[in-house]
Structure 1
C-alpha cells in the first residue's frame, strides 16, 4: 500500500491512493472489516458475559448472606465499576493509539480482556475465601473495563480510516455490529449452561462461558495480526510537527463535541442497560419467567440489533448520520412507557416484543451510525482519543449506571415501572435536542487538520 503524505500548503492529509483506485471491495478492506467485527465481538462477548452473569449468578455466588434486593444491587454495582473504567481505558489506549498507532493498541486490549475474563471463570466463591472473592471480582472487572475502553475506538477507526468517504458509516458500523454479536454469543453460552440443575449451574456451570474466552481471544489475535495500520495514521506520522497530548487537546478544543456526543450516545446505551441487563433480572426474579427462555429471547434480540445496525449504518451513508439517529431517538421517546407496561404484564411474548423493539429498532437506529458520528467530531491526530472518550462516557453513563438507577426508581415507585419509563423518555428528549445542534458529518473531510 502506498504511504499517504501530508500536504503542507493545505494542511491536509492526502487520501490513501489505494482506496481511490480500488474502492471498498478489496481483499484488504474485507480483512479489515472482518477484523473489526470479529475482534469487537470477542471482546464484547467477554464484557457482556459479565453483565449476564451479574443478572443471574453473582448475587448468589459472591454476595451471599445479603438481603436478595441488596445482593442484586451489589452485583449491579460491580457491573458499574467496569463501566467506570471504560473512559479511563479509552483515554489511556486512545493516547497510545493516537501516538503510536491503532493496531498495537488493539492487540494489547484483546490480551488484557482475555486474561481477565478467564480468571473470573476461575475465581473461588465467597463461601470458600470470604471477602477476597468479591474484591478479586471487582479488580478483574476493572481490567475488563480498561480493555474494552481501548477496543472499540481502535476497531472502529481501523475500518473507518481505510474506507472511502461514501462508505465510512457502513465501515465504522462493523465494530458496532461486533458488540451485539458478542452479546449473542455470550447469551447463548450462558443459556446453554443454564439448563443444568440450579445447584450445578451456580456451582460450576456458569464458569464454562468465561473459560471459553481463552480460545476466542487466540482466534481474534491471529486475525488482528494480519491487518495493516490505518493509512490516515501513517500519513500523520509523516507530519514533522510535534504531537500534543491527545486528551488535553480533546478537552480544551473540543469539549462541546465531547458533551453533545456523549449525551446522544447515552440514549442508545440506556436501552442496553435497561433491556439487556436490568430487565433480564426483573422478568426472571420478579415476574417468574423461565431463565433459559429469557436468555434465548435476549440472544434473538441481540441478533436483530446486528441486522438493524447494518441497515441504519448503510442509510446513514445515504441520508446522513443525524436523520437516521434522530428517527431512533423519536421512537425511543414515544415507546418508553409502552415498553415498561409490557414488562409489567409479565408475559414472555410481551417481553420478547419489548426487547425486539428496544434493541432491534431503537438502539440499532442510534448505534448504527454512532461510530462514524463520533469519529467525524475530531481530526485524525486526536480521533482515537476523542471518539473513544465519547463512546466510553456514553456507555458508562448510559449502560453502566442504568441497572442501579432503575432498581432505585422501581423501589421509589413501589414496584411500578412508570417512573422508569418517564426517566427513559426524558433521556431520549435530551439526546434529540443535542443531536439537532451537532453538524452533520457524512461529508466531512477526515484529512483536514481541523474539524
Structure 2
C-alpha cells in the first residue's frame, strides 16, 4: 500500500481541488458552525440572565443552579447526536448530516423563543424548555464532526490546521453574535422589558440564520475522502462497533484533551461569568449590557487566537501547539477571577481576553488533531463521539459546578482550582498522543491510520 507524500495542492485523496472549491468549503463551515453555536450559546446566555426567574422561580435560591443544570443536560444527549451522526455520516456522507443538524438546531432554538413561562403554564414551561434543550444537544453532538471533516478532508496536507480552524472559529463567532445580540436587546428592551420579551428576539432570529446556513451549505461538494469510500464501496457497515472494538482508549484520551479546554471555555460560553458578574445579589452587581459587550469583545480575541493556532499547528505540529496552549490557558485561569473580582468591566474584559488566548490555542488545532487520529472509514464516528464525551466531561456542568463551589466556599478560589485541574488533565492527555500531522487521510492508507497514536501502543 502506497504511503508516498501528498503534494501540497492535493486533497487527502490525491485529487486536485480548485481554489474556489476550497474557499467555498471554508466559508460554508464557518457560516454553518457560527449559526449552530449562536443557537447553542443564546440558551446558555439566557440561562445565566433570565431563565432562573422565568422558568424556575419556585425554586428560589436554587433557581440559577437549576437553570445552569439545564445547560448541562443537553451535553448528556450530545453522544446520542454523535452516535447517530457518526453512523449516518460514515455510511451516507458528511453533507447530509450537516444539513439535518442545522435544521434541528434552528427549529429547537426558535421554539424556545415562543415558549410561555412558568407563570403562564406552570410546570409544563420548564419541561418543554428542557426538551428543546435536549434537541439542541442532539444537534450539537452531530454538527461538529461533520463540519470538521468537510474542512479537513478538503484541505491540502500542509494546511489542515488552517482549514480545520474554520469550523473552530464558529464557536467564538457564535459567542460574539449571541452576546452582541443579547447586549443590543438589553439596550432596546432594558429592565423588565428584557424579561418580558427582549430575551425572545435572539431566539427567533435563528430562523433567518438557519436559512442563510442552509443556502451556503447546500452549495458545497461532499468530502473527497467519503466520495472515494463510496465509489469503492468501502464504507464501514457498523462504524461505531468498529470504533469501540479497536479504538476505545483513543476515544477516551481524545475526549480528555477536549475536556480540558471545554471546562474552562464554559465559564463564558456556559453563561457563568455573565451571571456571576451581573447577579444583583452577588458580589459585583454589574450592569447586564456592559458585561455582555465585554464577553463579545473577548470572543474576538478568542476568534483570532483560534485562527492563529490553526496556522501555527501547520508549522510546528498539533501536539506542540497544544502544549503552548495549555501553558497559556493556565495563565488565563490564574488571572481570571482576580481581574473579574475588581468589579471593573474593563478588568473583566481583560481577564476574559487573557483566558481566551489560551482557549484558542487549545481549540484551534483540534479539528486537524482529531481528523488525523482515526482511520477514514470510521473517522466521522471517532471525531464526533470523542468530542461529545469530552463535552460531557468538560463543559457540561462546569457553570453549575462553579456556582456550587462559590455557594459552598463563599469565594472563587475553589473555582480556580477546579479549572487548573481540568487544564492539567488536558495537558496530560495531549502528552499521551503522538503527533500525526500530515498523515495521509484517504482510504488508501487505512493500515497506516490504524496504528495507534497512543505512546506505548503499536496497534489500536
State whether residues 11 and 449 of structure 1, in contact with CA within 8 Å, keep that contact through their aligned partners in structure 2. Answer: no
Matched residue, 2:287: 290
Matched residue, 1:386: 382
Q: How far 1:103 sits from its partner (Å)?
A: 0.5
Matched residue, 1:219: 212
State whether residues 329 and 429 of structure 1, in contact with CA within 8 Å, keep that contact through their aligned partners in structure 2. Answer: yes
State whether residues 337 and 418 of structure 1, in contact with CA within 8 Å, keep that contact through their aligned partners in structure 2. Answer: no
Secondary structure at 1:327's aligned position in 2?
helix
Q: Matched residues in 2 for 1:101 and 1:22: separation?
A: 18
Q: How far 1:347 sits from its partner (Å)?
A: 2.2
Q: Matched residues in 1 for 2:98 and 2:115: separation?
A: 26
Matched residue, 2:457: none
- Map Cα deviations across residues 177-230 of structure 1 (whole Å, 9 max, x no partner): 011101111111111111223211101110000001001101110111111101
Secondary structure at 2:169's aligned position in 1?
helix
* The 10-residue stretch of structure 1 (152-161 or 22-31) with the greater mean CA deviation from structure 2: 22-31
Matched residue, 2:141: 149
Q: Matched residues in 2 for 1:18 and 1:364: separation?
A: 28
Q: Kindly tell me the number of residue pairs found equivalent between the two proteins.
A: 440
State whether residues 394 and 422 of structure 2, in contact with CA within 8 Å, keep that contact through their aligned partners in structure 1. Answer: no
State whether residues 101 and 233 of structure 1, in contact with CA within 8 Å, keep that contact through their aligned partners in structure 2. Answer: yes
Report the TM-score when normalising by structure 1.
Answer: 0.93
Matched residue, 1:366: 362
Q: Matched residues in 1 for 2:159 and 2:292: separation?
A: 34
Secondary structure at 2:237's aligned position in 1?
coil
Q: Matched residues in 2 for 1:16 and 1:312: separation?
A: 20
In the TM superposition, 1:24-35 aligns within 5 A as: 26-35=19-28
Whether 1:395 and 2:388 are equivalent positions in the alignment is: no
Q: How far 1:23 sits from its partner (Å)?
A: 6.4
State whether residues 44 and 178 of structure 1, in contact with CA within 8 Å, keep that contact through their aligned partners in structure 2. Answer: yes
Pick aligned residue for 2:30 from 22, 26, 37: 37
Matched residue, 1:6: none
Pick aligned residue for 2:435 from 420, 440, 447: 440
Q: Matched residues in 1 for 2:365 and 2:196: separation?
A: 41
Whether 1:281 and 2:278 are equivalent positions in the alignment is: no
Unaligned residue ranges in structure 1 (runs of 5+): 1-8
Structural RMSD (CA): 2.1
Pick aligned residue for 2:131 from 120, 130, 139: 139
Matched residue, 1:158: 150
Matched residue, 2:262: 269
Pick closer, same or farther for the CA change 1:35–1:335 going to 2, 3 Å.
Answer: closer
Q: How far 1:345 sits from its partner (Å)?
A: 2.7
Q: How far 1:18 sits from its partner (Å)?
A: 6.0
Q: How far 1:332 sits from its partner (Å)?
A: 2.1
- Map Cα deviations across residues 401-451 of structure 1 (whole Å, 9 max, x no partner): 1011111111221x1111111121121112111211101021212122142
Q: Matched residues in 2 for 1:334 and 1:264: separation?
A: 18
Q: Matched residues in 2 for 1:294 and 1:231: separation?
A: 44
Q: Matched residues in 2 for 1:173 and 1:429: separation?
A: 23
Q: Matched residues in 1 for 2:350 and 2:285: separation?
A: 17
Matched residue, 1:236: 229
Matched residue, 1:407: 403
Matched residue, 1:5: none
Report the TM-score when normalising by structure 2.
Answer: 0.92
Matched residue, 2:455: none
Q: Matched residues in 1 for 2:125 and 2:246: separation?
A: 43
* The 10-residue stretch of structure 1 (41-50 or 348-357) with the greater mean CA deviation from structure 2: 348-357
In the TM superposition, 1:34-433 aligns within 5 A as: 34-68=27-61, 70-195=62-187, 196-241=189-234, 243-276=236-269, 277-285=271-279, 286=282, 287-359=284-356, 361-413=357-409, 415-433=410-428
Q: Matched residues in 2 for 1:81 and 1:11: separation?
A: 44
Q: Matched residues in 1 for 2:368 and 2:234: separation?
A: 27
Q: How far 1:275 sits from its partner (Å)?
A: 3.4
Unaligned residue ranges in structure 2 (runs of 5+): 450-460
Matched residue, 2:453: none
State whether residues 15 and 232 of structure 1, in contact with CA within 8 Å, keep that contact through their aligned partners in structure 2. Answer: no
Q: How far 1:342 sits from its partner (Å)?
A: 2.0
Q: Matched residues in 1 for 2:144 and 2:374: separation?
A: 16
